[in-house]
Amino acid sequence: MVPGYFRWAGLFGLLQILTSETANLLPDFHFQSDDEARKEASTARCQQLFQQLLANHEKHVPELLEELRGIATGANVSSERLIAMRSWHIAKTLWRPPPDESTTARRLCIRLDRLGFYALLQDCICNSQHCFDAHNEDGDMAVACLQKAGMSMRASRDKWLFAAFVSFGKSNFTVLNYAGDLLGGMSAFAFNKQGIAFSLNWVGPGDCDPTGLGRNFISRQLLTATGWDEAQRIISQRHAAGHNYQLMDFKSRRIANFEVAHDQVSEVAVGSAFFHVNQYQTLTVPDQVVGNSSVHRLARLRMLPAPQTPQDALKILGDQHDRSYPIFHDEHSHATGDLSDWTLATVLFNLDQGTVNLMAGNPKELQLQRRFWLSMPPQPDQAPRL
């Protein structure tokens, strides 16, 4: 894991330096598409979609495209190629080819979709006794690439994720981020000085709207929010595809689940135990993409007792009862039949303590790897009753 604390006048220069630390990771992480996929991505239909997405982002978030260019410069890769791959990632290329499009083009949607796939799980409570969010960050291609080089699961995670403490202008935030992505765009966790924090779950609506913004760009904007209302407005922007946000306000001791599909937005305040996997649960979204892992994990969660404490939630996130699609993925689960991804990180947001905890190994062992502190504990009148 690459740590760092940065002060810089502009993010282009900051990210140029930051990404140079992980430059050797980007070629495998972002550009795994084979020759067939690259050839298919050059089709007129795909190019048209990309140009529409790019023009919309140049119009509405040019400063974030500049951040991506800084990442590309620091990593010594083509900025055009990096932006293209991030655009495919954030939109998931879930456009529906018209009937006359070839089967090859349909395969491209699936192939490019997998380039950025990540599976996640949330378990949160915010009541008078406890207020927390526990999160598993899963990924597939990252670990697969590094395992080819003979790395262990722990080494793979520490290579793909880095902690960044960033202060520039009026912005001050901390992220546990994937190499080569917008800070806060693809993160295991993110929080800012104002006490706004979030974790993210991928969800898959059935199509792509090129007039919307990519989810990574919107979650990056969340790091600028000074309070709940502003964060809510940012999340409610039109999305190119969709996303699931667990939004937290450490100052007001508040958690809510947001689901977004294009211009549809659902907000559910979290009180009692609330779980979320990689499928829509509060919005009705036709033709959404639902994987076997989500189906299995949700079924297993419904079999388990509802958690009452942060420790209960961490033990649930470490569950491996389902051999094919367990909740927690590691060397042990893959040795016994795991057909899904790898858990890169487990994070516990504890709004009562003002901490974000990165767990070591299987979270059911309750071993802490690293603790991040927020400077704003809950207000006295909102503190939990003993």
Look at 224 and 85; give whichever has higher pLDDT: 224
Is the Cβ–Cβ distance between 231 and 225 less than 8 Å? yes
Q: pLDDT value at position 50? A: 81
Distance separating alpha carbons of residues 256 and 342, to the nearest angstrom:
26
Highest-scoring range by mean pLDDT, 102-116, 204-218, 341-355: 341-355
Q: pLDDT value at position 293? A: 92
User: What is the tens place of the pLDDT at every residue in 36-88?
Assistant: 455 556 677 777 888 888 899 999 999 999 988 888 887 777 777 777 666 65
Q: What is the mean pLDDT of residues 20-39?
A: 50
Percent of the chain with pLDDT over 70: 71
Residue 222's pLDDT band (cuts 50, 70, 90) = very high
Q: What is the mean pLDDT of residues 86-95?
A: 49
Q: pLDDT value at position 118? A: 47
User: What is the tens place of the pLDDT at every residue in 320-357?
Assistant: 999 999 999 999 999 999 999 899 999 999 999 999 99
Q: pLDDT value at position 81? A: 72
DSSP, collapsed to helix, strand or coil, labels residue 276 as: strand
Q: pLDDT value at position 364? A: 98
Q: What is the mean pLDDT of residues 155-176?
A: 80
Q: CA-CA distances (angstroms) from residue 349 to 92, 271, 314, 356?
A: 28, 15, 11, 5
- Helix runs in the chain, H state only: 11-20, 26-30, 35-41, 44-60, 62-75, 79-91, 103-115, 141-148, 153-160, 215-222, 228-235, 292-303, 310-317, 331-335
User: What is the tens place of the pLDDT at every residue in 255-274?
Assistant: 999 999 999 999 999 999 99
Output the average pLDDT for the chain.
80
Q: Say how many C-beta atoms besides its own lie within 10 A of residue 38's C-beta.
A: 11
Is the domain covering 117-382 a CATH 3.60.60.10 domain?
yes
Q: What is the mean pLDDT of residues 144-167?
A: 65
The half-sphere exposure of 336 on its side-chain side, counting CA atoms within 13 A, is 12
Lowest-confidence pick of 106-120, 154-168, 230-244: 106-120
Distance separating alpha carbons of residues 346 and 138, to the nearest angstrom:
9
Domain boundaries for CATH 3.60.60.10 within the chain: 117-382
Distance separating alpha carbons of residues 239 and 235, to the nearest angstrom:
9
DSSP, collapsed to helix, strand or coil, labels residue 7 as: strand
Lowest-confidence pick of 117-121, 219-223, 285-289, 342-346: 117-121
Q: What is the mean pLDDT of residues 292-297?
A: 94
Contacts for 96 with CB less than 8 Å, ≥ 6 apart: 206, 207, 287
